[in-house]
Each structure stands twice: as structure tokens, then as C-alpha cells.
């Protein structure tokens, strides 16, 4: 299975992508607090679901994708950030998310960003044909989705990066180098001691290749404010102010 995923990802690795869509929304600089960011995320509502990439609607607003191994706590993280218990399907049986699920975010009914919950990968009990299909959909999405602004990778720090996590990092690295934002969320941090958390954070910062890394625990409410604030900033880039013309 790993060999298949490597081969498939490499076949689409060279696909041309516009990593900086001209229609991405931007807002004027304003005072940002965790409460503002969490209030914004709380507006998340189900938008659509798609078993294949071509079923997704073309969008111009920034899109933030959540990816990770099936048992890494991805759905729980999304539900915690949006303060909604059942926005993303969280199950005790990993591998239940089989589609790309989009959630619109924005106050007063105006969508200014979209969260994308991608199929989890790597769960052994899932039939081989389903694994292959999910991996194809995820790989195509990450490489070709034009309005993709940021990727959030969930990782259980007790196990570290898996082979498939590392392959994913290699595949998205060209887009990250072109400006795509990237965050590794170390979920279930409450399972670690303070010293273990510090060690896991240091190791992941070296492996993340320039991406951001945050410790996260839905149970202990750890890292929620930090991650929410980061996502808000990524979804609301501030355009540089044009320089004043020089009079000669």
C-alpha cells in the first residue's frame, strides 16, 4: 500500500498549481484576539461533500485543509475549534470519513473561508480498494486545489510521523515553498508529560520543514487559542499597503 501511494503521488506531483489565487479574500488589519478567531470559527456550517475532486464547487475564498491518519483526532480537533460537537464526524472507529467535506466559515452569512475535512489515511481495517480511492482523492486535492491556502496535518505525538505523513510532506513541500501555509497539530498532547511534550514539539519542528507546530488537546483545552488565531490570520491575509509615489 505504501508503494502504491508513493507511486500515485509522484505521478501528480508535477501538476501546475496556482498557489496564490488572485481572488483570495483579504481584510484590513485589526486587533485580533483568540475570542475573535474562535467566534469566527464557530460560524462554520456544512457546505457540501464530495466523493471525488470534480464534485467540489470552484471557490475563490481561502480553503484550509485538515489531513492526517485516521486515528489522529482530526474530527475531534475540527469540532473543538468550531465549538460544535458534531460538525465533523468523530467516531471511535477510525476510517469513517470517506469523502471530502467542506464547511463554510464567515459571519453574517458571508463565507470568507472554507474548512476541508479530508479522508483519513492509513487505517489497516479499511478495505484496500477504499484506501486506494481515498488516497487518490486526497493526493489530487492537495496538489491541484487552486484556492487551497493552508494545510493542517494532525499527528499523534506518541507515534510521530508515519511513512504516509512523510510522503504527504514531500508532496506538498513545493506548494509550501511557494507560499502555502502549513501547520502540524500534535493532538492528544494531554497523554504526554510536560517534558515529553517539550521533546515532541522540538522534534516535530525539525521535521515540519519550516511549517508551524502546535501542541493540542481537546480534553485539556490546550493549544486551541493558538491554532484558532493562526487559522484566522491565514484566512484573512492583509495586503501590503502600496508605497507612496516619490515626487521628483
Band of residue 3 on the pLDDT scale cut at 50, 70, 90: low
Are the CB atoms for 209 and 17 separated by under 8 Å? no
Q: What is the DSSP string of 198-229?
A: HHHHHHHHHHTTT-EEEE-BTTTTBSHHHHHH
CB half-sphere exposure, 140, CA atoms < 13 A: 15
pTM value is 0.82
Residue entry with cell 468523530:
90
Cell 506538498 -> residue: 172
What single-letter DSSP state applies at residue 149?
E
Answer yes or no: is pLDDT of 168 > 90: no
* Mean of per-residue pLDDT scores for the chain: 82
Query: Strand, helix or coil at 151?
Result: strand
- The residues near 213 (Cβ < 8 Å, ≥ 6 apart) are 183, 184, 186, 201, 204, 205
- Which domains does the chain show, CATH number per domain? 28-235 (3.40.50.300)
| CA gap 122, 230 in Å, rounded | 27
Supply 245's cell numbers: 509615489
Q: Of 84, 40, 76, 33, which is closest to residue 219 (Cα–Cα)? A: 76
Residue 125 has pLDDT above 60, yes or no: yes
pLDDT score for 241: 58
Amino acid at each position: 500500500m505504501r508503494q502504491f501511494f508513493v507511486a500515485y503521488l509522484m505521478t501528480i506531483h508535477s501538476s501546475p498549481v496556482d498557489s496564490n489565487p488572485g481572488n483570495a479574500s483579504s481584510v484590513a488589519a485589526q486587533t485580533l484576539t483568540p475570542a475573535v478567531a474562535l467566534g469566527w470559527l464557530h460560524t462554520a456550517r456544512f457546505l457540501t461533500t464530495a466523493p471525488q475532486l470534480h464534485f467540489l464547487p470552484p471557490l475563490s475564498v481561502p480553503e484550509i485543509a485538515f489531513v492526517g491518519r485516521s486515528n489522529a483526532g482530526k474530527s475531534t480537533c475540527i469540532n473543538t475549534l468550531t465549538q460544535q460537537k458534531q460538525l465533523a464526524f468523530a467516531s471511535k472507529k477510525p476510517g469513517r470519513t470517506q469523502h471530502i467535506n467542506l464547511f463554510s466559515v464567515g459571519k453574517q452569512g458571508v463565507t470568507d473561508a472554507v474548512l476541508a475535512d479530508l479522508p483519513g489515511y492509513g487505517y489497516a481495517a479499511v478495505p484496500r480498494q477504499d484506501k486506494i480511492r481515498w488516497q487518490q482523492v486526497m493526493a489530487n486535492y492537495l496538489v491541484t486545489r487552486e484556492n487551497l491556502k493552508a494545510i493542517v496535518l494532525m499527528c499523534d505525538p506518541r507515534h510521530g510521523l508515519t511513512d504516509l505523513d512523510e510522503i504527504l510532506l514531500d508532496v506538498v513541500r513545493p506548494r509550501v515553498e511557494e507560499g502555502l501555509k502549513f501547520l502540524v497539530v500534535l493532538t492528544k498532547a494531554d497523554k504526554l508529560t510536560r517534558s515529553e511534550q517539550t521533546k515532541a514539539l522540538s522534534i516535530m519542528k525539525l521535521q515540519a520543514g519550516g511549517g508551524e507546530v502546535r501542541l493540542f488537546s481537546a480534553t485539556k483545552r490546550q493549544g486551541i487559542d493558538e491554532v484558532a488565531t493562526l487559522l484566522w490570520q491565514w484566512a484573512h491575509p492583509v495586503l501590503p499597503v502600496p508605497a507612496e509615489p516619490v515626487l521628483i
